[in-house]
């Protein structure tokens, strides 16, 4: 039984026919839509390598059935930059060496973008580490990741203040 779903992926409306209603969002993105930036790590929702934003909220795409996301907006790592201009979180990860091997980096960045949008960390490094605990980095780049999030969060707060003025 095939099922047709509509998603907006990285700002582009897409209609996808699923031959199997059990396909995960992760497999749809990587195998059908040629968006390999979202990584398959543990395939159990424990490592965070597959983190994407759905309607602005962080999710593990390996645990989400694509069929259940009909009508949603999905943002992957490929959808963050605007042309050659990196998203502020991407730029901060580079500036603070928030990656080593790079495998976890897309999920870390997507989780950081979601965390900043949620507004929970408030510049507190301990709180950021707690809220990012679902994203594992085997190389141990946690200090750089935390510093990158703090910088991007500060820049976001300053931009919001300028926009409000």
Of the candidates 63, 83, 64, the residue with the CA atom closest to the CA atom of residue 10:
83
Kindly state the percentage of the chain with pLDDT values over 90.
84
Q: Does 104 lie in the same domain as 144?
A: yes
pLDDT at 161 over 90: no
Of the candidates 101, 103, 113, 99, the residue with the CA atom closest to the CA atom of residue 42:
103
pLDDT at 94 over 90: yes
Exposed / middle / buried, residue 157 (Cβ in 10 Å: 0-12, 13-18, 19+): middle
Phi/psi at 60 (5° precision):
-90, 110
pLDDT at 121 over 80: no
Average pLDDT, the chain: 94
What is the model's pLDDT at position 162? 83
Mean pLDDT of 135-164: 90
Q: Does 107 lie in the same domain as 55?
A: no
- Give one word for 143, left, alpha or beta, with left for phi > 0 and alpha for psi -120 to 50: alpha
Q: Does 99 lie in the same domain as 52?
A: no
pLDDT at 19 over 90: yes
Of the candidates 40, 70, 37, the residue with the CA atom closest to the CA atom of residue 55:
70
Structure tokens at 14: 């897409």
Spatial contact of 7 and 69, defined as CB atoms under 8 Å apart: yes
User: How does pLDDT run across 43-76, given as a tens digit for each residue?
Assistant: 999 999 999 999 999 999 999 999 999 999 999 9
> Which domain range does residue 46 map to?
3-79
What is the model's pLDDT at position 59? 97
pLDDT at 98 over 80: yes
Alpha-carbon distance of 161 to 125, in angstroms, equals 22
Higher per-residue confidence, 30 vs 164: 30
DSSP strands (E only) in 2-136: 3-9, 12-18, 51-54, 57-60, 73-75
Q: Does 100 lie in the same domain as 34?
A: no
* pLDDT class of 10 with cuts at 50, 70, 90: very high
Domain end (from 79, 98, 126): 79
pTM: 0.93
Q: For the domain that residue 117 is a member of, what is the CATH number?
A: 1.10.150.120
User: How does pLDDT run across 24-44, given as a tens digit for each residue?
Assistant: 999 999 999 999 999 999 999
């Amino acid at each position: 039984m095939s099922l047709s779903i509509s998603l907006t992926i990285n700002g582009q409306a897409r209609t996808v026919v699923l031959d199997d209603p059990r396909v995960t969002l992760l497999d749809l993105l990587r195998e059908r839509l040629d968006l390999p930036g979202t990584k398959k790590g543990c395939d159990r929702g424990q490592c965070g390598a597959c983190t994407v934003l759905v309607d602005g909220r962080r999710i593990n795409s390996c645990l989400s059935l694509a069929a259940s996301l009909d009508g949603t907006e999905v943002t992957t790592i490929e959808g963050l930059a605007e042309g050659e201009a990196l998203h502020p979180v991407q730029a901060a990860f580079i500036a603070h060496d928030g990656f080593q091997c790079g495998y976890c980096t897309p999920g870390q960045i997507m989780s950081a973008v979601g965390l900043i949008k949620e507004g929970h960390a408030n510049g507190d490094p301990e709180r950021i580490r707690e809220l990012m605990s679902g994203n594992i980095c085997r190389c141990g780049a946690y200090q750089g990741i935390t510093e990158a999030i703090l910088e991007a969060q500060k820049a976001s707060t300053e931009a919001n203040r300028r926009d409000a003025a």
